[in-house]
Amino acid sequence: MTIDVSNLLDGQLEAEEAKRALKETTSQPELRDRYTIYGLVGDVLRGNSTPDDGFSVRILQRMRDEKVRIEPGYDPLAG
Amino acid sequence: MANTDPDTELVRLAQAGDVHAFEALVVKYQRRVARHVARYVRRASDVEDVVQETFIRAYRGLAAFRGDSAFYTWLYRIATNMALNSIKRDPAPVLLGDDAPEERSEPFHPGVSDNDDPERRMMASQIAEAVQRALDRLQPDLAEPLMLFEVEGKSYLEIAQMLSIPVGTVRTRIYRAREFIAKRLEPVLGPQRDRRW
């Protein structure tokens, strides 16, 4: 349901609903697409109309390539 | 919802090991972070590096995020530190102090090596025009909550109170407004779809 994508983007879902909506969104290309477009619409309305053109994909690819993991005790604001 | 951070659930899921939840946060905030970083760092390739480093650091340090501030506030603080570190290493492109990076209005185009790339400028212009055309045709009762949320930064609860409608109606109207605009934006975005998340 695309309304769940909209609600997920805006943090309008409770824990279990969010978990389910995220799973559906990331597993279905058309919902994934909607998540991206809804986000773009917001950015355009705030004055930033640039398309994604693979920017987020490159970030996520780099995270996979470098096997980035959550590190307990690591403070990203230190140093 | 009692918690005012809209990203609480996605962050919780990411902290619990759901990589897709963090991916959703990257997709959501990539442009906003890039725009913020571009206020400090001029070269587009440097901006992209700083943004990538920001998200990587945020993910590595996700366990340290306790929700004392909103997630995006924490993310912006990381981005600011990364941007300042970047300009310390390469001071030439710095715009600080009275040059007021906050005042820079030049749009940043994430993922390109040249902000003057005419193809990208045209694409950005087409996207903006498509959204504006859709907005012009959108029913006012759908446009108003969307603008209040996206542009004015109002919460769903505040919008409900301002417009004297239930929060559930705000949800529905914002969704319908987005969907109306998305359908008219899709033809413009078509060619680059395979490169999106």
pLDDT given at position B196: 61
Interchain contact, A37 vs B189, CB within 8 Å: yes
Residue A71 neighbours by CB under 8 Å, 6+ apart: B60, B61, B63
Q: What are phi and psi of B29, to 5 degrees?
A: -105, 0
Calpha distance B197→B111 (Å, rounded): 14
Size of interface A-B (CB pairs under 8 A): 213
Q: Does A29 touch chain B (CB under 8 A)?
A: no
Residues on chain A touching B55 (C-beta within 8 angstroms): 59, 63
Residue A44 neighbours by CB under 8 Å, 6+ apart: B127, B128, B131
CATH number of the B1-104 domain: 1.10.1740.10
pLDDT given at position A45: 96
Residues on chain B touching A12 (C-beta within 8 angstroms): 1, 6, 156, 171
pLDDT given at position B197: 65
Residues on chain B touching A49 (C-beta within 8 angstroms): 107, 124-125, 127-128, 131
**Closest Cα partner for B162 from B141, B181, B176?**
B141
Residue reference for tokens 């899921």: B13
Residue reference for tokens 């300009």: B87
Interchain contact, B128 vs A49, CB within 8 Å: yes
Residues of chain B with pLDDT under 50: 1-2, 93-94, 97-106, 111-114
Give how far B76 is from chain A: nearest CA, Å: 10
User: How many C-beta atoms lie closer than 10 Å to residue A57's C-beta?
Assistant: 18
Residues on chain B touching A55 (C-beta within 8 angstroms): 30, 34, 48, 51, 110-111
Calpha distance A34→B156 (Å, rounded): 20
pLDDT given at position B115: 53
Q: Boundaries of CATH 1.10.10.10 in chain B?
A: 116-197
* Amino acid at position B88, single letter: K
Q: Choose, out of A10, A34, A64, A71, the residue to mutate when testing the contact with B (most B CBs < 10 Å).
A: A10
pLDDT given at position B138: 98
Q: How would you label B24-35 residue by residue, b for 16+ Cβ within 10 Å and e otherwise? A: bbbbbbbbbbbb
Helices (H) and strands (E) in chain B, counts: 8, 0
Reported pTM: 0.88
> Which residue among A34, A45, A59 sits closest to B150, beta carbon to beta carbon?
A45
Residue reference for tokens 């950015």: A43
CA B8 to chain centre: 17
User: How many C-beta atoms lie closer than 10 Å to residue B117's C-beta?
Assistant: 14
* Amino acid at position B60, single letter: R
* ∠ Cα B52 B4 B174 (to 5°): 85
Which whole-number Å values give the CA distances from B70 to A54, B22, B36, B55, in the listed order? 26, 15, 16, 15
- Helix axis angle, B44-60 relative to B19-37, nearest 10°? 140
Q: Say which CATH class B116-197 falls into.
A: mainly alpha
Q: What ipTM score was computed for the predicted complex, to two decimals?
A: 0.94
Q: What are phi and psi of B104, to 5 degrees?
A: -65, 125
Calpha distance B41→B136 (Å, rounded): 35
Domain coordinates in residue numbering, chain A: 2-65
Contact B75, B58 (CB under 8 A): yes
Residues on chain A touching B138 (C-beta within 8 angstroms): none
Per-residue pLDDT of A5-64, as tens digits, reads 999 999 999 999 999 999 999 999 999 999 999 999 999 999 887 766 688 888 889 999
Contact B133, B185 (CB under 8 A): no
pLDDT given at position B192: 57
Residue A55 neighbours by CB under 8 Å, 6+ apart: B30, B34, B48, B51, B110, B111
pLDDT given at position A55: 81
